[in-house]
Amino acid sequence: MKTIRSKLILYFFVFVVLFNVVSISIFFSSRSFLQEYDSSFRQFLLLNQISQTSNQLYEKANQFVLGRNQRVLNDFQKLRVTLNEKTKQLQNQKGFGEIQVKSYIHMIETLIQECEMSIGFAIRDDIDQYSLHIKEARNTSSYLQDTTMSLIDHKLTDYQTFYDDLERRKRSFIWFALFLFNTTVLLAVFFALWFSRGINKPVQILSKAASEVSAGKLDGPIIHIDSNDELKLLGETFNLMRKNIRQYIAEIEEKSELDSLLKELELKHLQNQINPHFLFNTLNTISRTAYFENAEETSRLIHAVSTLLRYSLGNINQSVRLREEIKVVTEYFYIQKTRFSDRITFSVNVAEECKKIQVPRLILQPIVENAFIHGVEGMEEGGNILLNIFSENGRTIAEIHDNGAGMTEELVTLITNHQEKNSQHVGHSTGIGLQNVMRRMELFYQAENLVSISSAKGRGTSVKLIFPMEEGDSLEGNNCG
């Protein structure tokens, strides 16, 4: 992952390299001009030095002829050596015509030769010869001066071309400098805007999302930051934080709803949840049974009622084994069968391996009671309620089916969607309705669609409960509270 710091260092390095490349290019270009200018200037100096040395050489030779002075002769020898060195330098110079250089060097050699011959004949006191040769040396020196001026003039003509080219390059360099300056400014502005946008845009997105979170809006879109630096990590961390907050709030709401349901149940227990109508009918049944039968049946009935009352008054927060729920349903069946005799048939089919699983307390009896009250209680005969519990795909399934009055599709939808607000489906013995059972199942197992209802008007109702836990799993720590 690239960091913002590494990006800044990279951009700075790119600009430094760019400026260095341009600076080096300008340096070498200027150096080439300077070398060319220096070469031309040195050629001018060399020609001027040769011209002056040649003239001095002639003057020393003439002085010696006139005065016969040894010091003048020594100066002549030094000037001759210097002139020879300058001549060799001229041979190595470029920019002159080969013929012109050879002719010029030949004149220099002629001058030296004439001067030496003048001095030699002067030493011999041969007036005619040294006069002839000194005159020839004077002419050669004069011609050499003219030739030097001609070469300098020719070189100046070439230099004019060089100077014009230099002026053109100067103007081009000015335009190049302006172009380079504008390009550099534009590139700097572009990179500054691009880089700042890469930082500012994600910051604005994060700032907006943070404002929404502070305002309580936690369902905003996921933040996508298209970068590979700290801002992307910050965006991912913010998404995770908002998700965790949503989950935490959902857990608090679920716990609050569960607490509300439990408090409602506890209140019903404190308010004597045994419906007077149910108690009245049960007591009448016990009375009739005591009248027509022996005391054993009455005792059994009283035992069933006490079992049901004791179980319904137990701690609603604790989970229980499924066998205890089945026992309570069986006692409830016994009480109702005693009341209605052969009008209603109760059947229980339970797989043995399903009895050990942990389930919420009072989860089966309210549904069975609902099937009785709203399904088969009004039937004169042929009423049937079936409790079937079996294992399927690692889950325990409980089905409560009746062949009673049934419900409309609209009412089934209202119940399954938790929209049925009246107390039509609240049991007499416990005060617990279908919606309470459904919601406690969802909260207990932290899952949805665990209760399904299939019904048709006049064709009965089938309620299916799904217990996700495997057989033998302990849910004692996962109680309703």
HEC letters along the chain: CCCHHHHHHHHHHHHHHHHHHHHHHHHHHHHHHHHHHHHHHHHHHHHHHHHHHHHHHHHHHHHHHHHCCHHHHHHHHHHHHHHHHHHHHHHHCCCCCHHHHHHHHHHHHHHHHHHHHHHHHHHCCCHHHHHHHHHHHHHHHHHHHHHHHHHHHHHHHHHHHHHHHHHHHHHHHHHHHHHHHHHHHHHHHHHHHHHHHHHHHHHHHHHHHHHHHHCCCCCCCCCCCCCCCHHHHHHHHHHHHHHHHHHHHHHHHHHHHHHHHHHHHHHHHHCCCCCHHHHHHHHHHHHHHHHHCCHHHHHHHHHHHHHHHHHHCCCCCCEEEHHHHHHHHHHHHHHHHHHHHHHEEEEEEECHHHCCCEEECCCCHHHHHHHHHHHHCCCCCCEEEEEEEEEECCEEEEEEEECCCCCCHHHHHHHHCCCCCCCCCECCCCCCEHHHHHHHHHHHHCCCCCEEEEEECCCEEEEEEEECCCCCCCCCCCCCC
As a whole number of angstroms, the longest Cα–Cα distance in the chain is: 190
Q: Which residues belong to CATH 1.20.120 in the chain?
A: 4-192
Hey, how many other C-beta atoms are within 10 angstroms of the C-beta on 239?
17
Q: List the pLDDT tens digit at each of the 481 positions of the chain.
A: 566 677 677 777 777 777 777 778 777 777 776 777 777 778 778 888 888 888 888 888 888 888 888 888 898 889 889 888 888 888 777 666 677 778 888 888 888 888 888 888 888 888 888 788 888 888 888 888 888 888 777 777 766 776 777 778 778 878 877 887 788 788 878 877 877 777 777 777 778 778 877 777 777 778 777 777 777 777 778 788 888 887 888 788 777 777 776 666 655 554 444 454 565 466 556 656 665 666 667 777 777 777 777 777 777 778 899 999 999 999 888 888 888 877 888 889 999 889 889 998 888 988 998 888 888 888 878 889 999 999 988 889 999 999 988 888 888 888 887 766 544 445 555 556 778 888 888 888 888 888 999 988 888 899 999 998 654 454 343 444 3
Query: Phi and psi at residue 80, in whole multiples of 5°?
Result: -65, -45
Q: Which CATH architecture has domain 251-467?
A: 2-Layer Sandwich (3.30)
Looking at residue 200, its pLDDT comes to 73
| d(C-alpha 324, C-alpha 346), whole Å | 18
pTM tops 0.75, yes or no: no
CATH 3.30.565.10 placement within the chain: 251-467
Domain range 4-192, CATH class = mainly alpha
**Closest C-alpha among 200, 250, 255 to residue 227:** 200
